[in-house]
Structure 1
């Protein structure tokens, strides 16, 4: 009897081990396929970013793409994207954008999101897609807001980064979707830090993301601006979704954007552009 029971137990254990091994193999295969897909798409996203010519009206030099994305994201293995920045001729931050893909009715469709950062008029950008879009952004909304109670800008670069991270944590953000308010999560490390920083010229970009991924929904820019000969800390909220957004600083509402209805329009005139472009092979 004991032998029979022991044999049954061993058989059951072996069966469970076989099932677990099969599940592990399936999950590993699925992860490999997702990683392979993400790598292929990242190359396509870079090609799309390189194809965008964003030309300031008062310059003969287009904004220059930084070819290495700030980061890449994958949400639930179906939504992929790469976040890029562009600089002006003086190597100053000028524009941020995401090139990505998402499934629509069983087909992966590429999308483009751009946000002008530099308050300088650009030649209208024609973006192919559904529908074709003409982007001629108004620059009146592009402003940095002072953080009046922020500490003096530190002389040391490492201390300035610590200051910027601390200032970013003073903000909270929400996204409203389908009549539900979703608390956004601040990523602990900046997406981007200005290169060759000085107290007079330093800054960083921080991302607020939804719980179901790391796709930025709102980007917070923290930057030192010299006023009356003294560098001071400032901030700028940057929309990165068509959904409605709210931002608070130390619990007080400081910025709010409603749903972006221009997303379906062939004419877009805000600093934020979004659109679907083409099916992804």
Structure 2
């Protein structure tokens, strides 16, 4: 189940399908061919394109027009998941632009998570009341993967290494007092193109058994440290619910329930909320 809580309203819908970007033509959103779905997906593309995201060190984050995937739920809830990169092609931000029906009216929602541990220029999202986002970055520093292998010089071998390291992590989501063990998808949602032993990384997804919509993302990336390449990781929340992450049985990260989700001003790396009414 994909469960969204937006503006204080619980909405539960069964996830019909999720289509990886690698399996689709960007001109044909997901598997939907209706005029309504195309209109919505085109709108999401435009909303994402119009977002102006810039770091305080002067880097303009570049929207990658091909989504990681698009999803549709029983013809009612639609969304596209995108990434933004730095000019040097490092991951900077990931986000979903989507729509959800409330009282027979489609509303657009935005869900963003800053990835790069550098402050951004404060930005506003949506129509009145506009959300103002000034995310703190203290918790975004990537951590060294414990007992990680030496970074291979072979691209295929590095993917095997990243998949192996991802399997060492276990994720849990706490919902209504119940602990749910999340399932790791075997293939990454995203991997850097033109990777090298000094520039490689991927995004892995942990999903609820009720669906294939990511609840927690795991970023694994090569970074330089003390003149050598090392493997680092970053946990990325993609839900308002409480999350926990373990590495080989040891707790390494936790995120409490996101209580600020309805606020007009948000200072966390994760932003979510309704942003606009979509005309008929």
TM range (shorter): 0.7 to 0.9
Q: How does 1:175-186 map to 2 (within 5 A)?
A: 175-186=173-184
Larger Rg, first or second structure (1 or 2): 1
Distance 1:274 1:260 in 2: 10
Residue matched to 2:42: 43
RMSD of aligned C-alpha atoms?
1.9
Residue matched to 2:217: 219
Q: Deviations over 1:6-55 (max 9, x none)?
A: xxxxxxxxxxxxxxxxxxxxxxxxxxx96524433221111110111012
Give the TM-score normalised by structure 2. Answer: 0.83
Bigger fraction of residues in helix: 1
Unaligned segments of structure 1, at least 5 residues = 1-32
- Confirm or deny that 1:233 pairs with 2:231: yes
Quote the offset at 1:69 in angstroms: 0.3
Distance 1:219 1:129 in 2: 28
Q: Is the 8 A contact 1:125 1:134 kept in 2?
A: yes
Distance 2:277 2:210 in 1: 24
Quote the offset at 1:140 in angstroms: 1.1
Instruction: Give 1:102's match in structure 2, choosing from 100, 112, 122.
Output: 100
Q: How does 1:43-62 map to 2 (within 5 A)?
A: 43-59=42-58, 62=60
Quote the offset at 1:209 in angstroms: 1.6
Quote the offset at 1:123 in angstroms: 1.0
Bigger fraction of residues in strand: 2
Q: Is the 8 A contact 1:131 1:265 kept in 2?
A: no
Distance 2:123 2:223 in 1: 29
Give the TM-score normalised by structure 1. Answer: 0.83
Q: Secondary structure at the match of 2:140?
A: coil
Residue matched to 1:135: 133
Residue matched to 1:271: 269
Residue matched to 1:155: 153
Quote the offset at 1:260 in angstroms: 0.6
Quote the offset at 1:117 in angstroms: 1.0
Instruction: Give 2:80's match in structure 1, choosing from 57, 82, 85.
Output: 82
Quote the offset at 1:196 in angstroms: 1.7
Residue matched to 1:122: 120
Q: Is the 8 A contact 1:248 1:254 kept in 2?
A: yes
Residue range with higher mean Cα deviation, 263-272 or 209-218: 209-218
Relative to structure 1, is the Cα distance of residues 108 and 179 closer, same or farther in structure 2, using a 3 angstrom cutoff?
farther
Quote the offset at 1:179 in angstroms: 2.0
Quote the offset at 1:130 in angstroms: 6.9
Instruction: Give 2:204's match in structure 1, choosing from 194, 203, 206.
Output: 206
Quote the offset at 1:219 in angstroms: 0.8
Q: Deviations over 1:100-123 (max 9, x none)?
A: 122333333211111111122211
Q: Is the 8 A contact 1:173 1:246 kept in 2?
A: yes
Unaligned segments of structure 2, at least 5 residues = 1-30
Relative to structure 1, is the Cα distance of residues 39 and 188 closer, same or farther in structure 2, using a 3 angstrom cutoff?
farther
Distance 1:275 1:194 in 2: 29
Residue range with higher mean Cα deviation, 153-162 or 224-233: 224-233
Q: Deviations over 1:153-190 (max 9, x none)?
A: 11100100111011111111121222222222211111
Q: Is the 8 A contact 1:131 1:264 kept in 2?
A: no
Distance 1:126 1:251 in 2: 40
Q: Secondary structure at the match of 1:176?
A: strand
Residue matched to 1:3: none
